[in-house]
Structure 1
Amino acid sequence: MPLYLLPLLPLLGFALLMLLPKAFPGKTGGWLASGTVLAAFVIALTRYLGLGGTPDQETVIANWLPNMALGKNLSVGFYLDQLSSVMTLIITGIGFLIHVYSVSYMSHDAKFTRFFAFLNFFVSMMLILVLADSYPLMFVGWEGVGMASYLLIGFWFNGRNSEASDRDVREASDREAVANSNAARKAFIMNRIGDLGFMLGMFLLYKLYGTLNIPELAARVEGASVVQAGIELACLFLLVGAVGKSGQLPLTTWLPDAMAGPTPVSALIHAATMVTAGVYLVARSNFLYDLAPNASMWVAWVGALTALYGALSALNQHDIKKILAYSTVSQLGYMFLAVGLHSYSAGVFHLLTHAFFKALLFLCAGAVIHALHEEQDVRLMGGMRRFMPMTHLFSLMGVLAIAGIPIWSGFFSKDAILAAAFDANPLLYLIGLGVAFLTAFYMGRWYFLVWRGTYRGHVAHPHEADPIMLAPLGILAALATLGGFLNIPTFLGGNHAFDSFLSKAVPVHAHEIAHSTELILTLLAVGAGLGGLFWAWTEHRSGLLAHGPLGRTSAAALYLNDLYDGLFSNPSRGVAYGLDVVDRGVDGTVGGIARSASGTGTAFTWWQSGFVRAYAVSMLLGTALMVGYWALKTIGMGGGQ
């Protein structure tokens, strides 16, 4: 089956649900959307099983610059190798489970069908991103997931109870609407900063090598004399793009705010799609970063510092989802640390295991929120294991996985990253080990506050999630528990199966570490995980859990948002307010200019009628004009001969 069916199927689901919403009453829209992603997963699995040593490359979709005499190439098509194959399985497999879960979770939402249309669009754009054989086509998917995240983060842009009769409920809904809209705008704007870096990197690479086709660029870089400064600068530009999309420092503050969307959106963004795009970009560009040691070290240090920032910020959050959000920031930092040290396989393997346990944790959190009538404050939970025994069990599996406890998946993937850091730089290793300890603590805190102790909630009888929600949780719990066995290290009797598979697409750099040393490192990592969980248990028993100056600093996310408000937001609002005061106090010149511009724009609104038939006529007329111009030009050229 052709590769283009992978993104096309969910894109067709999006089109049907948006254009014909009334044709899918009840939950049928949700099942249709789930079915398109399941079909895409079957295709991804089929292509994965049939993938040999040679990557699959589809026929070129378009050739933007066909003058090959100049050595230029901007053709775009789809490309499947071991790296993109793993990504398609994650996107469609985890995406399908989240879709199924959402059928029940969103069943009472008034915009149920639209929600699933946006989910399908998200999955389609992410598939385009990872299957692209060129940076321009990757950028199309890159922007597509940015738009999808904007739509889904701000999905409740008018609040969930805007039509309630109770005044207090309606006012709370209005406050929620403002917060949701601000979160969506923040994500959109901060990602545009990263996108500028991506574009500058593309422009520079095209200037240096005359192509943006990734396999061809890799061959040209290998066969040509390396322009060291140019490669370093291009990699730094691409890093800016990756930092924006994956919420790394300094563009990290949008990611925790993305919790404003429905919980399945949080799971999809944080586990299977958007935020992993930055890691994928660096791994896909490995042939560039291998030639850019300075840029690679920047990637590693950005990852290490972000991992530490996310872990410290998660220590004393009170929102059940924000703890997990800052955890995602931290775990993505681990992935950047790995790929920055050229340990691409370790980074991608942690991306895979993180998709399992983070999707599981978010969906478990969603089940708790659902049972407590949208309550998200962990201080108003406790003892939930009595009411939700199955969800409690699945949550425990996720906590043990992210804490790096053997035999759960995070143990294997995090160990590989720490080994790479130890081999490269002792300070990076110590930061990574410290983050492992903090991770176990804040996830232990999450677990104890939600599931153990005395129930502190206001809902009289919280209920267990229904079977439609529990089924995806069970599958994810199994994957979070057993997924690490895909890549057992040699010193534990394994053969690095995942590394061997991925080595056909990205270089797997071996570490010069003795097995005895690796065993000691493993024991230290396990000790850090167990120590963090024990600390959380003792703090829970004493009723403290990160109080004091550290607790206040953590709750404020190290005051990074306040810093940005002071440096950028408040001054810009002050300038705007000052201009408004001056304008009203003088003669209204600024307002007059604005009204003139608005009037000019209004004059053209007749063209944007919103009717599909009008747009179709416009496209037809435009095509006719282009064909006519081409025909006249051809006749003219013939006459000139």
Structure 2
Amino acid sequence: MPLFLLPLFPLLGFALLMLFPRAFPGKAGGWLASGAVLASFVVAALRFLGQTETPSHEVLWTWLPNMALNANLAVGFWFDQLSALMTLIITGVGFLIHLYSISYMGHDPRFTRFFAFLNFFVAMMLILVLADSYPLMFVGWEGVGMASYLLIGFWFQGRNSEASDQDLRDASDREGVANSNAARKAFIMNRIGDLGFMLGMFLLYRLYGTLSIPELAERVEGARVAQTGIELACLFLLVGAVGKSGQLPLTTWLPDAMAGPTPVSALIHAATMVTAGVYLVARSHFLYDLAPNASMWVAWVGGLTALYGALSALNQHDIKKILAYSTVSQLGYMFLAVGLHAYSAGVFHLLTHAFFKALLFLSAGAVIHALHEEQDVRAMGGMRRFMPFTHVVALMGVLAIAGIPIWSGFFSKDAILAAAYEANPLLYVIGLGVALLTAFYMGRWYFLVWRGDYRGHAEHPHEADTLMKVPLGILAALATLGGLLNIPGFLGGAHAFDTYLGRAVPVHGHEIAVSTEILLTVLAVAAGLGGLAWAYAEHKRRALFEGPLGQTSTRALYLDDLYNGVVSVPSRALAASLDTVDRGVDGTIGGVASTASAPGGLFAWWQSGFVRAYAVSMLLGTALIIGYWAIKTIGMGGGA
């Protein structure tokens, strides 16, 4: 099957739902959108099963032909082991999220439009990962940015804007403003990253005369020159990756992205947009392999972001915001891996994270749905009695992200820690510390939501329905067993995932003794178990991690406050000052402006557009000139 079918199906779904919304009453739009993504998954699976070691390159048409820069760009798709894996993740997990959303969004008045936006999101992400050139990748890059803006701000009017109760409408208005601000924040901060991406592309073209990824890889491999230029280009690309994946210092938009409906959080935080930065670095491995300084920047950005996200998640109270900061931290792990050239380890964690983080977000959505939109974990507790199925699958997700054997996070996280240990002891210590903190905050999330006594106010919480349970069950199985795809050699495995992905990206081989690798595994498991035990102890003492450290965590280490004070407040003050000048101070400046514009107003009425008016103007003008010369002539004659 041709590759263009992968993005075409969801694009057609988007077009039909946007152009003919009334043709899909009830939940028909949701089923159409889900079917479109399922069709793309079938295409991805068939291409994966029929894949050879040689990448497939399919060119659709020439794009921007005969440019002045003499660089003919084509719309083409590149299908190797890396893009095959990404298409399976995007369409597979994306389909499950679509299916879940049919029930979750069933009562929303803009149901059909929501699914149109979801389809558009998936289509743009598929273009991003299949693109055979950086400019085409940038098209998908901007497309997912636009889709995220539409989905994060989907409830821009709030969820109760049509309620009869005035208090509910007021609260809905405030929620709508917050959602709109979150969407704008994501859009604006991503533009900063996009500037870096564009500068990287411009520099690469200047160095090598092409932006086709296969051609660029050949020219870089053949030349192996312009080391400084490659370093700078890789740093520019890193800025783009940092913006899209919410890494430091452009991380503050990502936690706010949970303002959208919960399926949007699952789609953005797990399987699509935020992984684009990791994909960009992995796809550009042939550049980063020649840029050790830029690669180390990637690793340190990832390590510090992993620590920042974990510390920020420790004492959040919103059930989704805990998971959002967890995403920031886990993406940091992926950047740490690809920065150390352990591309396979980073991409494998991307895969397992898609499973367990989508599972955790959708489990949180089921709880929110059952509690009539309650999101504060302090108003939950004991939910396992009301939602036994969701409790079990959520626990699978917690064990996976905590890195407990045999769950998937154990295998992917250990591979990253092993690479960090070999490369830089300090990065390893940071990574191990983050593993401890991850197990703690996810244990806290689990105990506050599912254990203890029910502390909420919603009456009769209910279990998720079948349409929500099916995706949860599949994701729980993947989160539990997905790690078996890459069992390490010291545990009797054959590194199957590394072997497969190694045909597209370099695989980092550990040069450490088996005994050392076993010790590192024991330490990682001890960190996970220790974090869960710590969370249990805090729960038994009924402590919610308060105090100075707790407050600092709740405020996300005050990074947002810093940006607000340094950037937002001065910008708003400047805008208010300019607005004052524009409107006028006590009418004075405004009066000056009115006076200055008055002469123009005197003649504006004459510009009517009628030919007769212009003819009269010409006659009057001619008469005035003749009169002037007549008076002047008479005056000169009188003087004689």
TM-score (structure 1 length as normaliser): 0.91
Alpha-carbon contact 1:151-1:184 (below 8 Å) kept? yes
1:176 and 2:178 matched: no
* 2:57 corresponds to 1:57: yes
Partner amino acid, structure 1, of 2:21: P
Give the 3-state SS of the residue equivalent to 1:78 in structure 2.
strand
Shift of 1:225: 4.0
Kindly provide the CA deviation profile for residues 205-225 of structure 1, in whole angstroms up to 9, marking residues without a partner as x: 011101000011000001114
Partner of 2:257: 258
* Distance in 1 (alpha carbons) for counterparts of 2:362 and 2:124: 22
Report the residue type matching 2:281 in the other structure: V
- Whether 1:34 and 2:20 are equivalent positions in the alignment is no
Q: How does 1:251-330 map to 2 (within 5 A)?
A: 251-330=250-329
Between 584-593 and 289-298, report the one with greater CA deviation. Answer: 584-593
Cα distance in 2, alignment partners of residues 361 and 188 from structure 1: 25
Q: Which residue of structure 1 aligns with residue 622 of structure 2?
A: none
| Structure 1 partner of 2:589 | 587
Question: Is the 2:59–2:75 Cα contact (8 Å) retained in structure 1?
Answer: no
Deviation, structure 1 residue 582: 3.8
Aligned match of 2:45 = 45
Are residues 591 and 470 of structure 1, via their aligned partners in 2, closer, same or farther at CA, if it must alter by over 3 Å? farther
Aligned partners of 1:536 and 1:545 also within 8 Å: no
Quote the Cα distance in structure 1 between the aligned partners of 2:517 and 2:497.
18
TM superposition shift of 1:71: 6.9
Amino acid at match of 2:285: N
| 1:611-633 deviation digits (Å, cap 9, x = unpaired) | xxxxxxxxxxxxxxxxxxxxxxx
Which residue in 1 is equivalent to 2:436?
Answer: 437
Q: Tell me what 2:4 maps to.
A: 4
C-alpha contact 1:29 1:113 (8 A) present in aligned 2: yes
> SS at 1:387's partner residue?
coil
Distance 1:424 1:582, change over 3 A: same
Distance 2:27 2:61 in 1: 35
- SS state of the match for residue 174, structure 1? helix
Structure 2 partner of 1:125: 124
Map 1:177-576 → 2, pairs under 5 A:
177-576=176-575
Alpha-carbon distance in 1 for matches of 2:31, 2:63: 37
What's the CA shift for 1:76? 3.0
Residues 224-233 or 480-489, more deviating: 224-233
Q: Which residue of 1 aligns with 2:608?
A: none
**Is the contact made by 1:388 and 1:465 (CA closer than 8 Å) also made in structure 2?**
yes
Percentage of pairs with the same residue: 80
Counterpart amino acid of 1:64? L
- Structure 1 residues 589 and 258 mapped into 2: Cα distance closer, same or farther (>3 Å)? farther
Shift of 1:159: 1.0
- How far has the Cα of 1:459 moved from its partner? 1.2
Deviations 1:199-248 (A, max 9, x none): 00000001110100001100000111410110000000000000000000
Of 365-374 and 49-58, the range deviating more from structure 2:
49-58
User: After TM superposition, where is structure 1 displaced by more than 6 Å over at least 4 residues in a row?
Assistant: 589-593
2:266 is paired with a residue whose SS is helix
Secondary structure of residue in 1 paired with 2:251: coil
8 A contact 1:73–1:213 mirrored in 2: no
Tell me the distance in 1 between the aligned counterparts of 2:236 and 2:396. 39
Query: What is the match of residue 24 of structure 1?
Result: 24
Q: Aligned partners of 1:546, 1:48: CA distance in 2, in Å?
A: 47
Decide which moves more: 57-66 or 104-113. Answer: 57-66
SS in 1 for 2:38: helix
SS in 2 for 1:510: coil
Cα distance in 2 between the residues matched to 1:445 and 1:7: 40
Q: CA deviation at 1:505?
A: 0.3
Shift of 1:255: 0.3
Tell me the residue number matched to 1:612. Answer: none
Change (3 A) 1:373 1:224: same
Query: How far 1:60 moved relative to its partner?
Result: 4.2
Larger Rg computed on CA atoms? 2
1:588, distance to aligned residue in structure 2 (A)? 2.8
- Deviation of 1:590 after TM superposition, in Å, equals 11
Distance 2:365 2:258 in 1: 11
Give the superposition deviation at 1:463.
0.1
Shift in Å, 1:62: 1.9
Determine helix, strand or coil for the equivalent of 1:79: strand
Quote how far apart the aligned CAs of 1:73 are.
4.2
Q: Distance between the aligned counterparts of 1:12 and 1:385, measured in 2? A: 41
The count of aligned residue pairs is: 594
**SS of equivalent to 2:296:** helix
Matched AA of 2:418: A
**Counterpart in the other structure of 1:156:** 155
Gaps of at least 5 residues in structure 2 are 599-640
Contact 2:421 2:428 in 1 (8 A): yes
| Residue 93, structure 1, aligned to residue 95, structure 2 | no
Shift in Å, 1:580: 2.8
AA matched with 1:206: Y
SS of structure 2 residue aligned to 1:59: strand
Q: 1:72 to 1:451 in 2, by over 3 A?
A: same
Preserved CA contact (<8 Å) 2:128 2:136? yes
1:61 deviates by 2.6
Instruction: After superposition, give the CA deviation of every residue in 1:487-512 in whole Å (9 maximum; x if it has no partner).
Output: 00000000000000000000102121
Report SS of the residue matched to 1:77.
strand
Contact 1:76 1:213 in 2 (8 A): no
**Take 1:291 and 1:95, find their aligned partners in 2: how far apart are those partners?**
35
Aligned position for 2:106 = 107
The separation in 1 between residues aligned to 2:15 and 2:75, in whole angstroms, is 23
**Counterpart Cα distance in 2 of 1:484 and 1:39:** 26
Determine the C-alpha separation between the residues in 1 that align with 2:290 and 2:60.
28
Q: CA RMSD in A?
A: 1.6
Q: Which runs of 5+ in 1 are unaligned?
A: 597-641
Shift of 1:460: 1.9
* C-alpha distance in structure 2 between counterparts of 1:564 and 1:302, whole Å: 18
Tell me the SS of whatever aligns to 2:373.
coil
Contact kept, 8 Å, 2:59 with 2:74, in 1: the verdict is no
> How far did 1:401 drift?
0.1
- Secondary structure at the residue paired with 1:61? strand
Displacement of 1:546? 1.4
Do the aligned residues in 2 keep the contact of 1:76 with 1:136 (CA within 8 Å)?
no
User: 1:134 is matched with which residue?
Assistant: 133
Measured after TM superposition, the shift of residue 65 of structure 1 is 4.0
The 1:224–1:172 alpha-carbon spacing in structure 2 relative to 1, beyond 3 Å, is same
CA apart distance, 1:587: 1.7
Q: Cα deviations across residues 32-87 of structure 1 (Å, max 9, x unaligned)?
A: 0000000000000000011111011112432424479x874433300100000000
Equivalents in 1 of 2:344, 2:237: separation in Å? 19
